[in-house]
Each structure stands twice: as C-alpha cells, then as structure tokens.
Amino acid sequence: MSRFTNRLWLLSVFVLIRLMNVAAWADEPAAITAALKNKVISNGGYDSLTAKAKTNGSVRILVKLGIKFQPQGSLSKLDASPLKKAILTAQDKLLGRLTTISYYKYKYIPYIAMTLNSAALNSTLSAPEVESVVEDEVSPPSAVNWNISATGASTVWQYGYDGSGYAVAILDTGVDKTHPMLSAKVIAEACYSTNDSSSYASSLCPNAVTDLTTSGAAMPYAGNCPTGLCDHGTSVAGFAAGKNTGEASGVAKGAAIIAMQVFTRFDYGCATSNPCLLAYNSDIIKGLERVYELSAAYPIAAVNISTAGGHFAANCDTGYGAIKAMVDTLRSVGIATVSASGNHGYIDGISGPACISTVVSVGGTTNVDTVAYFSNSASFLNILAPAYEISGPVSNGRYKAWNGTSMASPHVTGAWAVLKQARPAASVSDILYALVSTGVSVSDYRNGIYKPRLNLSSALQKLAGTLVYYMPYFTTDTAAPTYCWVTNKSASSVAASIQIMSGSSTTVPTQLPLSKTISLAAKTSKMITFSGTTITGGDTSIDISSEIGSVGGTAYSADITFTSGMAINCSQLDMSCFLGTTSPKRNLVGYTCYDGSYRNY
C-alpha cells in the first residue's frame, strides 16, 4: 500500500468514525439520565413514551422549546417578529440534530409536533433547546327549541343582537355548509388530519392530505369518514351560529362560521367499535394557529372545541402547554376558546382541553335546569349551558337530537359572538365575567356545587347597558346656551343622568350625579339644552345652581351617562351639540363617547 493510499485509507476511517459519532448523537445518546427522563411530563412519563415507540415503531410527541414566550397579540409588531424568528431558529436547530419520521413546526408558539422512534426520542430529550415533551394524545368528540328560550337568545334577537358582523370558529368533524341551516354562513375552511399507519390512523381530509385550507376542506364527508361519524361538527356549528329555520336555531344566528375539520379516522384500537374518530392535540393546535392567522381578515369572537379527554381535578396547563400557548395567543387578540367539560359523569374533575385555565369550560344542563347526569363537574368549571335533547343539523339536510356537553359548549360560543356585537371592545375576561355573574344558579345534585347556567339576556345587560358622553365645556352665560340633539336608535329606552365635573377657576373632586334623569324612548330624538344653571330635556328641568356654585367659575364640564335596559353603544345613541343662539351656530367639538372604546367628536 502506497503512502498516499495509506493516508487516504486513514482519512476514510476518520471520516467514518466522525459520521458514526454524528449518527450516535442523531439516534441514541450514551445515557438517558433521570433529569432527561423528567422532561417527559405526560401521563406514564418517559417509560410509557419509549415503550410505545418501541412497540409501534414510533411515537407522536409535542416538544416545548426553552424560549421565553409571549402571545403575539400582546406584542408590538417590532417585538413580534423577533419572537417568531427565535422560535423558527430554535426549531430548525433542534431538527437539524434529529432523524424524525415527520414533524410540524408551529409559527407562533415555541413547539414542534414530531413523530419519531425511541432513539430519536432520547436524542430529543438530550437536546439543550428542549424544555419538555408531552405525548400527542387523542380525544373523542364530546357528544328546538327549549334551549334557545332558556339561554335568552330569542330575547336579545329582538334588540338587534344576533352575532352579526362576527364569526365563530368550529374545530370539529367538519361542517356541512350545504345544509339549509348553514348555507352561505361558512366563510373559511380548513382540514388538519393525520396519516399514521402504525396507529391505524388515516386522514379525513379530501384526497387523504393532512393540511388543507381551500374551499371544501371542511366538508365532513369529502374524505374517508364512515357514514354517520362526521355529523357531530355540523350540529355543533348549528348550535353556535346556525340560521333560525323554525326546526332549530343557533344562538348567534347572524354570525358567520369558520369550519375546521381536526379529526382522524382510526380503524383499530377504538374504545367502543371500530372505526372511530379521534383528534390529535397537534391537529387541534394547527387549527388554532389557523384561526389566529384568519383573525387578521375576519372579526372572530370565539373558537369552539367540543372534544374531551382525560380526568383532571385541577387546571391542566402544564400537560396541555402547547394548546394553552395558542389559546393565550388567541386571547391576546380578543378571541375566546370555549370547550366542553366532557361526558364521563365525573363529579370531581373535567376533561381536556376544557381543564386549561384560560379556556372557557362548559358543563351541561337538562331542560328542567338540572345538571345532566353525564356532564363532568368540578369547582373550577366556568359555566353551564343546555346539553339535553338538542335538535341540530346533520348531513343531507336532516336534523338530529343530541345529548352531551358538546352541545352545551357551542351555546356559549354563540353567546360570545352576540356579546362582541353589542360591545366590540369587550375583552375575553369582560365577557366571561358578564356571563358568569348573571347566569342562573344551578346546583349539581351529585356534589352540591353551584354553577351559573347561561343567561344571555342578563349578560348582555350587564356587559353593555351603559355608555358615557364626556362633555368638556358648558357656560352659565344664558346668552350662549348649548343645545345637544340626542337620537336613540336602539330598541330600548334610555335614561340620561348628569354629573357636574369641574369649574373653570378651581380644581375640585368629582361631584355626585344630579338627582333627576332625562328619559328618551326607543327610536326617538330629544333636545337637551344647557342654559345658565338649568338643564332641560322635554318635560324635565334640572336646576344645577348648587353644583355650579360648588365648582366655581362660569364654565363647567359634565359627564352624561345613558343607561339602557339592554345593550347600547355610541353608534346607537348619537349626540350632536352646538353653541349659541345666533346664526351661524358653532358645533361643539372635543367631546367623547365611551362604550368600551372611545369615539371622539
């Protein structure tokens, strides 16, 4: 062997050794310590995951990266872009070290969905970028018109609030947009489903693809769904936002629908009979991520997830960390995530993802306002809604009666769209408080826990029954009165209470409201005149001399609070003010209306 050949042989051996070292890192580190095993936070821990990987040849996981996370909606554009870049960089760095069967990189949260073997699982746990790993679990679907009457939806429709102008997203088994109850209501579609032969799982999307966002993507039987198994999502969409066909109606009958199919077909290993439908958490997250992207184009009030898996006696934020990250991202732009508590009859816990602290969890009631025997219940459940013998749309223009918290959840989702229409600036916390604080109190006979049952009309009044006009300048000079022409466009009468705030020469504390109010009937107009120390409106006259004396000076400001029996906003109560008695009159400027957001005049 020549010296050159010898050197070439040694170099080849060196390269081979280096490649073997790389392969060892990519496939199996020397040892998995207890600390690395503890990165697995799903039930059964590391031993369960690695056993499944070895038995089935692979395991599906959700990997959390160690990046400081904030929901995109809470960041400025300047800060949001670097976070997305940091997530992508960390994802690519980790994937560059691994041999995976498949993966999906989420755009807005520091997670990756992976399918890999036991060796790659060990390498993943050993990577410094990885904070935790959880199994990508599956959950089943959680399974007129007393319900509409009970929730108060028909009452609020009379006042013009039916969810119009807003959309609700339905993450389920698809939505039959050809049904008369749902025709012309679906404005966007998507399908996220899984092909995994080792789990006997196959995609329900058209043409068996795993990701699709084109028209028809969420039609329930466009893929290989067995007859009857994909009706669930169509009914859920109908309960939330279906048209009032006379046979059934959605709570937000005027709202649009974003339809997303997130389930997968399983031909073996089902809890009951084969085949069955289950939803991977990774596909649910893809749906939530798509909702966030669509929020730039559509005003979305809420997302409904009527799946339920597991039994949790307390919030499950750690185990459902990836879903929570997307829930919080949606919440940061004002979109609620609503989920069914589950139908296992638990009296000391609820299922996931409803168990997440920032998800609105919904249990079910019967038509006599008792908690349904099948409804999961716990002290940290948020709210109850109708869930017993609810008629909803199914394929081929038919209707079917359903029982289950899957039916309760979309009632609350629809209510969210109605309340957002009434008070667009209301946050998720604002609306949740209005719903919980005004609901009909119902005791669960099984555990003695009281929870509020949805009462939409009361929540509407609680959330949006007042608005305030902040008026910067009035004068006590009778030669220069101010005239305010007020038009009540709403379907409810209002009462104006006036509060003198300050004078021109001194700074004083806020004054008490005047004892008299000026009323204004629905669909009418009235002139309110501020002249000297008198305010008049129709037959009502209010003397403000004592209040003007207390603030001092010849000029003052005031707040005018309009209170209604139902929701009201600035566009429904229009006020135009002008100064003086001579022509041309001068319009008053600089005043503001506040109904949750500010409107300046």
Which CATH number belongs to the domain containing residue 452 in this structure? 3.40.50.200
Residue 149 near residue 318, CB atoms below 8 Å: no
| 520 and 566 housed in the same domain | yes
Q: Are residues 440 and 507 in the same domain?
A: no
| 361 located within any domain | yes
Examine the domain organization and report whether 374 and 483 are in the same domain: no
Both 527 and 593 in one domain: the answer is yes
Q: Is residue 7 part of a domain?
A: no
- Section 517-539 average pLDDT: 93
Domain span at residue 537 reads 465-600
- What average pLDDT score do residues 9-27 get? 36
CB 146 within 8 A of CB 239: no
Does some domain include residue 520?
yes
**Structure confidence by residue, pLDDT tens digits, 173-220:** 999 999 999 999 999 999 999 999 999 999 999 999 999 999 999 999
Last residue of a domain, one of 462, 492, 508: 462
387/472 same-domain check: no
Do 79 and 192 lie in one domain? The reply is no
Mean of pLDDT values over 405-433: 93
The CATH number of the domain where 512 resides is what? 2.60.120
Q: Is the pLDDT of residue 508 over 50?
A: no
**Could you count the other beta carbons within 10 Å of the beta carbon of residue 513?**
14
- How far apart CA 264 and CA 262 sit, in angstroms, is 7
**519 Cβ contact list (under 8 Å, min separation 6):** 493, 494, 495, 496, 538, 540
Residue 257 and residue 167 in contact, taking contact as beta carbons nearer than 8 Å: yes
Residue 194 near residue 280 (C-beta atoms within 8 A): yes
Q: Is the confidence at residue 3, as pLDDT, over 80? A: no
Decide which of 429, 462, 495 is a domain's last residue. 462
- Find the mean pLDDT for residues 492-496: 90
pLDDT of residue 595: 79
Look at residue 44 and tell me if it is in a domain. yes
Strands of 20-137, DSSP E: 59-65, 102-105, 111-116, 130-135
- The residues pairing with 501 across neighbouring beta strands, listed in sequence order, are none
Tell me what the mean pLDDT of segment 116-140 comes to. Answer: 94
- Please tell me the least confidently modeled range out of 131-140, 410-419, 426-435, 574-583: 574-583
Same domain, 521 and 557: yes
Q: Which residues are catalytic?
A: 172, 232, 406
Is 325 found in the same domain as 359? Answer: yes
Residues 113 and 192 in one domain: no
Distance, in Å, from the CA atom of 10 to the CA atom of 571, rounded to the nearest integer, reads 83
R_g over Cα of the chain = 30
Predicted local distance difference test score (pLDDT) of residue 13: 35
Residues 209, 253, single domain; the answer is: yes
What mean pLDDT is predicted for residues 120-138?
Answer: 95
Average pLDDT of 111-119? 95
pLDDT at 584: 56
pLDDT band at 95 (very low <50, low <70, confident <90, very high): very high
The pLDDT tens digits for 285-342 are 999 999 999 999 999 999 999 999 999 999 999 999 999 999 999 999 999 999 999 9
For 121, 479, 535, 538, 590, the CA distances from 582, given in Å and listed in that order, are: 83, 9, 20, 22, 21
Query: Per mean pLDDT, which range of 133-137, 144-148, 534-538 is the poorest?
Result: 144-148
Domain end position, chosen among 462, 480, 495: 462
pLDDT digits (tens, 9 = 90+) for 529-546: 999 899 999 999 999 888
The yes-or-no verdict on residue 11 having pLDDT over 70 is no
pLDDT(560) > 60: yes
Which residues, in sequence order, are CB contacts of 86 under 8 Å at separation 6+? 67
Predicted confidence at residue 582, as pLDDT, reads 57
Alpha-helical regions (H) of 28-117: 34-37, 45-56, 77-95
Q: Does 477 lie in the same domain as 396?
A: no
| Average pLDDT of the segment spanning 89-100 | 93
Q: 413-425 pLDDT, tens per residue?
A: 999 999 999 888 8
Give the pLDDT mean for 161-169. Answer: 95
Mean pLDDT over residues 24-30, rounded? 42
Note the pLDDT tens digit of each residue in 243-298.
Answer: 999 888 999 999 999 999 999 999 999 988 999 999 999 999 999 999 999 999 99
List the end-to-end C-alpha distance of the chain, in Å, as a whole number.
Answer: 94
Are the C-beta atoms of residues 452 and 442 closer than 8 Å to each other?
Answer: yes
Taking each helix axis from N to C terminus, what angle separates 428-438 and 405-422, rounded to the nearest 10 degrees? 120
Residue 472: inside a domain: yes
Domain count, the chain: 3
Does residue 9 form part of some domain? no
Task: Let me know if residue 12 belongs to a domain.
Answer: no
Instruction: Give the containing element (helix H, strand E) for 466.
Output: strand 466-475
Q: Tell me: do 358 and 435 sit in the same domain.
A: yes
Query: Rounded mean pLDDT of 379-384?
Result: 98
Q: How far apart are CA 394 and CA 248, in angstroms?
A: 12
Kind and range of the H or E element at 257?
strand 256-261
Average pLDDT, the chain: 89
Q: Is residue 207 part of a domain?
A: yes
